[in-house]
Amino acid sequence: WTQQFDAIFSDLEMPRVGGFDLLTELNDREESRTMPVAIVTTRNEPEIQERALQLGADDFLAKPVTPTTVQNALNKLAILS
């Protein structure tokens, strides 16, 4: 990594790498294992949410998100108060 981040917000469905693959890769890298990760997606099925959380997501936000939703996620992840 060339930059430091406080958290990662990622969609599950992306052009080059899927969100589940990203979660797996983040867990495989020691320097990112403790990085808070929030998944933001239209896929709100319970099994999708459960899989994301099992792979290391710290929060799960269903689209569409609002500024309040994002602020609540940041608070939950202890990024902002």
Tens of pLDDT, residues 45-78: 999 999 999 999 999 999 999 999 999 999 988 7
Collapsing DSSP to helix, strand or coil, 38 comes out as strand
H/E segment holding residue 9: strand 8-10
Nearest-angstrom CA–CA distance, 7 and 28: 17
Smallest CA-to-CA distance from 55 within 75, 14, 25 is with 25
Nearest-angstrom CA–CA distance, 64 and 10: 13
Query: How much is the pTM?
Result: 0.83
Grade residue 44 by pLDDT with cuts at 50, 70 and 90.
Answer: confident
